[in-house]
């Protein structure tokens, strides 16, 4: 009786993962889907602790320590997840992803320490879990640090060569350990160190704007690492959950790349940023920039018929989403139609901007996607660009030499007036100049997005 209970719990858990993932794909059912998958996870964990037996029929030892570990992890994880600001969500996801990767790597390391490589299949799964988990861990942590803006992009000459060489070495040593051509726990530790180093080197040169793609990719890596564990222990929920995330995550990564009109290799090899820096330095757009005061900008918007707000990462960094919603309310009171134009990759992750604006109570139907809003720009009176740059760069349409050439953008330059809210004239994440700022119908409102936004609200109230 007891023996069949665990497989049943595991089956239920596996099904909840599938249903949960499916439900996460639709706005109405997403929250429920998350809860269902979470419930399945609890069943699988409780079932494992209570009923798991090895082939000899002995139950698990160290139960108090296991429960203690779960308690510690729950408290820390819960606190972090509840406290994190909505703007910092992408790096939080990256951090938790790294923890999963580290967990998978540790499992493989311990498995190798206990048993070595029993067979080619067993050894391959152990080494794959170790390598992929380690890369996912160190890569995610670097992604986390970069998104926290505590580290810039680091590039050096021959980086590609070093990375490829290291990866090749890691793979060869991993294969040798798997096939027992080489043995020994110290070598496995060395392999771990190599994989960790590769994870760091691999994320270092990738630009900030590409981080979502990297996080999504590392997310699917961790899924595969978890599946390796499932293969080792013949454990179905691990195998099913891991592979599902691995394949869904890969698809998500490709979709993200597509919305930036780039190939995954282009992102991973860091070509984009390197080219961008070069082209920005040599052929920067020139001309005069017109600055506008908050007072003038307020008048311009208050007497407009239609205003389209283009939110970008600058809005998120400055926490200006609430002030932005206030501005929208003030303008609506004056009879102005206000809409938000949300670029697919606005913010740091697809959909990130929607989450932020939803947090500030901006109504869902005011958020218009790129394809729908683009035909409306020629009849729009004022476009207010808040901390967005690359997604409104007309060079993407005209300049074949531009590294972002071909990326679908918001056609804001077609509007009658464009007001760009920006901290300085610094280039965006792609590291290239934006000729939009030099156009005759563009004016710049310099300053922190939140401060400028509040100033605008105050000025509009006076009108």
Partner 1 sequence: MDASTLQLIYLIVLMAFLGVELIGHVPSVLHTPLMSGANAIHGVVIIGSIIVMGHATDTASIILGFAAVVLGTLNVVGGFVVTNRMLEMFRKKQ
Burial of 391 (0-12, 13-18, 19+ CB in 10 A): buried
Nearest distance from C-beta of residue 302 to partner 1, angstroms: 27
Task: Report how far Cα 414 is from the mean position of its chain's Cα atoms.
Answer: 31
- 104 vs 323, beta carbon nearer partner 1: 104
Nearest distance from C-beta of residue 35 to partner 1, angstroms: 7
Nearest distance from C-beta of residue 82 to partner 1, angstroms: 6
If you count them, how many residues does the chain have? 463
Nearest distance from C-beta of residue 260 to partner 1, angstroms: 12
- 196 vs 349, beta carbon nearer partner 1: 349
Nearest distance from C-beta of residue 195 to partner 1, angstroms: 16
Identify the CA nearest to 412 among candidates 357, 453, 368, 455: 368
- 98 vs 280, beta carbon nearer partner 1: 98
- 252 vs 436, beta carbon nearer partner 1: 252
- 31 vs 305, beta carbon nearer partner 1: 31
Contact in structure between 40 and 17 (CB atoms under 8 Å): yes
The catalytic position among 153, 210, 390, 411 is 390
Active site residue 390: yes
Identify the CA nearest to 308 among candidates 420, 228, 395, 227: 420
- 107 vs 277, beta carbon nearer partner 1: 107
Nearest distance from C-beta of residue 324 to partner 1, angstroms: 15
Q: Which residues are catalytic, by number? A: 390
């Amino acid at each position: 009786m007891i023996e069949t209970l665990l497989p049943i719990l595991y089956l239920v858990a596996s099904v909840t993962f599938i249903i949960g993932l499916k439900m996460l794909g639709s706005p109405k059912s997403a929250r429920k889907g998350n809860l269902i998958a979470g419930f399945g996870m609890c069943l699988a964990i409780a079932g494992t602790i209570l009923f798991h037996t090895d082939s000899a029929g002995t139950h698990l030892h160290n139960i108090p320590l296991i429960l203690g570990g779960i308690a510690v992890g729950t408290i820390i994880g819960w606190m972090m997840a509840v406290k994190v600001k909505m703007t910092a969500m992408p790096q939080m996801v990256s951090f938790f992803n790294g923890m999963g990767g580290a967990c998978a790597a540790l499992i493989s390391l311990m498995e190798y320490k206990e048993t070595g490589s029993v067979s080619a299949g067993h050894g391959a799964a152990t080494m794959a879990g170790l390598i992929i988990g380690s890369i996912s861990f160190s890569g995610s942590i670097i992604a986390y640090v970069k998104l926290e803006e505590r580290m810039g992009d680091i590039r050096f000459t021959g980086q590609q060569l070093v990375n490829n060489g290291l990866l090749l070495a890691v793979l060869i040593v991993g294969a040798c350990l798997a096939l027992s051509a080489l043995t020994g726990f110290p070598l496995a530790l060395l392999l771990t160190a190599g994989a960790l180093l590769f994870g760091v080197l691999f994320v270092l040169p990738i630009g900030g704007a590409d981080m979502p793609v990297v996080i999504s990719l590392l997310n699917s890596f961790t899924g595969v690492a978890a599946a390796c564990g499932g293969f080792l222990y013949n454990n179905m929920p691990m195998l099913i959950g891991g592979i599902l995330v691995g394949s869904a995550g890969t698809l998500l990564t490709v979709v993200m790349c597509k919305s930036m009109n780039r190939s995954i290799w282009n992102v991973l090899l860091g070509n984009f940023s390197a080219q961008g820096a070069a082209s920005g330095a040599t052929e920067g757009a020139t001309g005069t920039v017109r600055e506008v005061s908050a007072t003038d900008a307020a008048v311009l918007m208050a007497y407009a018929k239609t205003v389209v707000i283009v939110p970008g990462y600058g809005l998120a960094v400055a926490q200006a989403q609430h002030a932005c919603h206030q501005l929208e309310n003030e303008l609506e009171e004056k009879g102005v139609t206000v809409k938000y134009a949300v670029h697919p990759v606005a913010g740091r992750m697809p959909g990130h901007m929607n989450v932020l604006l939803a947090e500030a109570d901006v109504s869902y139907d005011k958020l218009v996607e790129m394809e729908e809003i683009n035909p409306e720009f020629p009849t729009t009176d004022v476009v207010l660009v808040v901390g967005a740059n690359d997604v409104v760069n007309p060079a993407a349409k005209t300049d074949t030499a531009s590294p972002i050439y071909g990326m679908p953008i918001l056609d804001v330059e077609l509007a009658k007036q464009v007001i760009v809210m920006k901290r300085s004239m610094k280039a965006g994440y792609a590291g290239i100049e934006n000729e939009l700022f030099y156009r005759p119908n563009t004016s710049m409102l310099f300053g922190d997005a939140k401060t400028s936004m509040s100033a605008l609200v105050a000025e509009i109230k006076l009108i």
